[in-house]
């Protein structure tokens, strides 16, 4: 056997091992038979995060199939919901006696472990990848965590949802943010995020089946605060984004907003949280090479801080250096004496 053949066989063996490892990790919460035509050149990424009883999954992989049979359901049913957000590629779902469904990027799907399914992950071309790829984020959690009995949610399963507004629109944002921050989250944040994401899913699903009365007061409060945070992030540029404006947009009093937000944010007020988000956005924008030529005061104004002196003081207090020095350090520029702005 030539060295070239040995190299090919070794690469194939390693690829098959990667697929088996990836499949086994997926099967920890999504018990099914997984297969792919790309075992000989399989390459995937998987980010797995345990949020108490909730498991977060972020994965990229070649085209594959997932089958959960009647026999598997009868043998063992962990009673788990699987929520998936498609980012790249498509998911085609086939279930006995029901219409097929295909999810495209931006769609949310919801499956449960109590019924068989055949899920085909149809990859799409991706620059730098040898095979068609699928990118997706998901959460798996016990059906018992939701306030609605699972049988009443069955009409919602196996369908695609394109969240545009309301609580449903928070779920993609939450998953994308969680995926970005997964490597830096500490134990305290991790333990808090599981209940939050379940509350968001609960609020969304109870709205869909018109059973919001089943939500607990705690779930309502957490869902409200997440709605407020999303509203603030969308409107950071607005200099008139005051607690009064935020409260009016959510049809609550300012005093109730202050009380609920502070309780759910570890004592931080909504005004302080808004100010911190603005500074963080400016901090990222100043380090962005694509915005190298944009004046500092313009970036600050886009983040809702139009007065250069106010921005400079707040930025220095938060990060220990001026906006200009931060930009120079982040972009690798040599210091040049000049006025701030």
Give the CATH number, domain containing residue 236: 1.10.10.60
Q: What is the structure's pLDDT at 336?
A: 58
**Domain containing 101 — which CATH number?**
2.60.120.10
3-state secondary structure 73-142: HHHCCCCEEEEEEEEECEEEEECCCCCCEEECCCCEEEEECCCCEEEEEECECCCCCCCCEEEEEEEEEE
Q: What is the structure's pLDDT at 335?
A: 59
Q: What is the structure's pLDDT at 156?
A: 85
Using the 3D structure, point to which of 162, 185, 200 is the last residue of a domain: 162
Is 105 in the same domain as 249? no
Cα-flanking dihedrals φ and ψ of residue 128, to 5°? 90, -5
Q: With respect to residue 93, please indicate whether it lies within any of the assigned structural domains.
A: yes
**Rounded-to-10 torsion of CA 271, 275, 280, 281:** 100
Q: What is the mean pLDDT of residues 192-212?
A: 87
Domain that holds residue 298: 216-341
Write out the H or E segment, with its range, that includes residue 72. helix 70-75
Highest average pLDDT, of 88-102, 181-195, 258-272, comes from 258-272
CB-based burial of residue 156 (10 Å sphere; 0-12 exposed, 13-18 middle, 19+ buried)?
middle
Q: With respect to residue 185, please indicate whether it lies within any of the assigned structural domains.
A: no
Is 21 in the same domain as 94? yes
Higher pLDDT, 283 or 336: 283
Q: Lowest mean pLDDT: which of 5-9, 236-240, 251-255, 266-270?
A: 5-9
Q: If you average pLDDT over every residue of the chain, what do you get?
A: 89
Is 25 in the same domain as 152? yes
Q: What is the structure's pLDDT at 339?
A: 46
Question: Which residue, chain included where needed, has tokens 């309502």?
Answer: 220
Structural domains in the chain (count):
2
Do residues 39 and 19 lie in contact, with contact meaning Cβ atoms separated by under 8 Å? yes
Q: What is the mean pLDDT of residues 204-221?
A: 86
Q: What is the mean pLDDT of residues 281-285?
A: 95
pTM of the model: 0.74
Q: With respect to residue 180, please indicate whether it lies within any of the assigned structural domains.
A: no
Q: What is the mean pLDDT of residues 46-53?
A: 89
Q: With respect to residue 245, please indicate whether it lies within any of the assigned structural domains.
A: yes
Is 134 in the same domain as 38? yes
- pLDDT tens string 286-335: 999 999 999 999 999 999 999 999 999 999 999 999 999 999 999 887 65
Is 125 in the same domain as 223? no
Q: With respect to residue 192, please indicate whether it lies within any of the assigned structural domains.
A: no
């Amino acid at each position: 056997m030539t060295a070239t053949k040995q190299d090919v066989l070794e690469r194939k063996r390693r690829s098959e091992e990667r697929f088996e490892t990836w499949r086994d990790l997926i099967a920890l919460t999504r018990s099914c038979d997984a297969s792919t035509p790309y075992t000989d050149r399989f390459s995937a990424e998987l980010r797995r995060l345990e949020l108490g009883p909730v498991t977060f999954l972020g994965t990229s992989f070649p085209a594959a199939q997932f089958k959960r049979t009647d026999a598997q359901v009868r043998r063992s049913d962990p009673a788990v919901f699987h929520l998936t957000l498609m980012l790249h590629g498509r998911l085609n779902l086939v279930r006995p006696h029901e219409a097929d469904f295909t999810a495209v990027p931006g769609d949310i799907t919801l499956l449960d472990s109590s019924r068989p399914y055949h899920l085909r992950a149809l990859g799409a071309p991706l620059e730098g990848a040898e095979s068609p790829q699928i990118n997706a984020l998901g959460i798996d959690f016990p059906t018992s965590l939701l306030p609605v009995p699972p049988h009443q949610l069955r009409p919602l399963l196996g369908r695609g949802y394109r969240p545009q507004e309301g609580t449903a629109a928070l779920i993609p944002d939450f998953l994308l943010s969680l995926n970005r921050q997964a490597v830096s989250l500490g134990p305290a944040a991790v333990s808090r995020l599981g209940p939050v994401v379940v509350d968001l899913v609960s609020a969304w699903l109870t709205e869909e089946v018109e059973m919001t009365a089943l939500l607990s007061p705690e779930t309502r409060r957490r869902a409200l605060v997440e709605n407020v945070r999303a509203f603030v992030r969308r409107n950071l540029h607005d200099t008139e984004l005051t607690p009064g404006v935020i409260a009016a947009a959510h049809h609550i009093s300012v005093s109730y907003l202050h009380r609920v937000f502070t309780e759910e944010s570890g004592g931080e007020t909504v005004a302080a949280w808004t100010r911190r988000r603005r500074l963080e956005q400016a901090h990222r924008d100043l380090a962005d090479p694509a915005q190298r030529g944009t004046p500092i005061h313009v970036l600050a104004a886009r983040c809702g801080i139009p007065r250069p002196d106010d921005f400079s003081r707040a930025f220095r207090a938060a990060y220990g250096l001026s906006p200009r020095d931060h930009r120079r350090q982040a972009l690798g520029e040599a210091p040049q004496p000049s006025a701030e702005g």
